[in-house]
Amino acid sequence: MVIQVATNFGLINRTYVSDVLNAQKDTETQWQRFEREVKRLNAEADEGVVYKVLYLGRHGQGVHNVAEQRYGRAEWDRYYASLEGDTHGHWADAHLTPLGVTQALGVHAFWAHQLAASARTPAPQSYYVSPLHRCLETANCTFQGLDLPAGRSYKPVVKELLREVLGVHTCDGRSPLSLLRAEFPNCVFEAGMSEEDELWEAGHRETDAEIDARTARLLDDVFGNDGSSFVSFTSHSGAIGSLLRVLGHQEFRLATGAAIPVLVRAQRRQMGNP
C-alpha cells in the first residue's frame, strides 16, 4: 500500500470531549479543535501517561531509489545495494535526486497550506531527523522558510536511532560527522555521535527485531525527555514502518516525500527489581 499526504492531513471531521466547554468550537478549524483535545488529554492524563502527535515524513526520492527501480528489487538486494554506485550515479549515503528535491518542496507547500488560516494544523514543536544525507536535505527543504508560530521555529535535532535499516546497503551508511556539520550548519547533532559511522556493518543487515528494538529506544528517549506534544520525524520507509510496528499501529509503506500524522498514547512502565 502506498500512502500519499491526504487532504487536511487525513484528519477525520468529528466531535471531541473538549468541544463541550469550547465556546469557540464553531469558528475554529478541525485541527484547532483537535489540538485543544490533545491538550485536554494530557491535562487529564493519569500519572505516567502522555499523548503526542507524531508527524512521520519519509525523505524525497534518492539516487538509490532510482537505482533499485532500474535493477529491480531482487537484483538490488542481491548485488547492487552493496556497491557505492554505478555509471549513472553514486548512492553511498544517497543524496536526493532533482525529483526528490521537488517532492520535498511539495511537502513544504503542503505545510504552508496547512499552517494557514484555512486549516491551522499545529506546527511541530520539535523536529527530529535521521543523519543520512537524503533526510537532512528533505527536512531543510520541507521546513525552512515556513511561517511558523512563535516558539515552534525549525531547529532540527539529528538522531542516529532514526536511521534506516542498518547494514549491507551502502545507501544506508552515514557520511562523516564533520562533513554533515559543514553542509547542514542549522542542524544540532546529538551528543555522542561519532565522526565515522560505527553502526553500519557491511556483512549484516538489521533484522526487523533489531530495528524495532532501536526505534523503541528512540521513542523512549523522545517520550521520556521531550515535553512537546507535536513532534516531527523525518526518516525512512523502513524506520517509519518499524516505528509503526512498535507503536502497534497499522504499518504503511510511505512513498518518497509522503507523510502521516499519528496520535500516540504512551504509558511509563515501572521496571521491577532484577
Are the CB atoms for 131 and 159 separated by under 8 Å? yes
Q: What is the DSSP letter of 175?
A: P
| CA angle in degrees (0–180, nearest 5) for 22-24-25 | 70
Place of cell 532514526: 162
Q: Would strands 89-90 and 85-86 be described as parallel, antiparallel, or unpaired?
A: antiparallel
Residues in the chain: 274
Q: Is 59 among the catalytic positions?
A: yes
* The three-state (H, E, C) secondary structure of 113-162, written as one string: HHHCCCCCCCCCCEEEECCCHHHHHHHHHHHCCCCCCCCCCCCEEECHHH
Per annotation, catalytic residue among 137, 160, 164, 206: 164
Q: Is 198 among the catalytic positions?
A: no
Helix axes 208-225, 237-246, angle to 10 degrees: 70
Per annotation, catalytic residue among 59, 108, 133, 236: 59
Q: Would you name the residues annotated as active-site residues?
A: 59, 164
